[in-house]
Amino acid sequence: DALIRLAKAQKYDVVVIGASREGLLEQAIHGNIPEAIARGVDSTVILVREALH
């Protein structure tokens, strides 16, 4: 909620966040945080995965 409020208050064009590695159980309990952020802001949201080796 805090990130969504901040992005809206500051009117950011882009929000960059790390992609979630939550399992299905965690998502069922807590929800999918990156998806909630993407749905909650008017900005473009970029999800970043860890580097491939």
pLDDT along the chain (53 residues), means of 10: 93 89 77 86 90 66
pLDDT of residue 53: 67
Residue 19, C-beta contacts closer than 8 angstroms, at least 6 positions apart: 34, 47, 48, 49, 50
Residue with tokens 């945080």: 33
Residue 22: domain span: 2-48
pLDDT of residue 11: 95
Q: Is residue 24 part of a domain?
A: yes
Q: Is residue 14 part of a domain?
A: yes
What is the C-alpha to C-alpha distance for residues 40 and 24, in angstroms, rounded to an integer?
21
Tokens of 13: 């064009």
Q: Is residue 53 part of a domain?
A: no
pLDDT of residue 13: 96
Q: Is residue 23 part of a domain?
A: yes
What is the C-alpha to C-alpha distance for residues 35 and 41, in angstroms, rounded to an integer?
10
CB 38 within 8 A of CB 25: no
Q: Per the structure, how many domains does the chain have?
A: 1
Q: Is residue 8 part of a domain?
A: yes
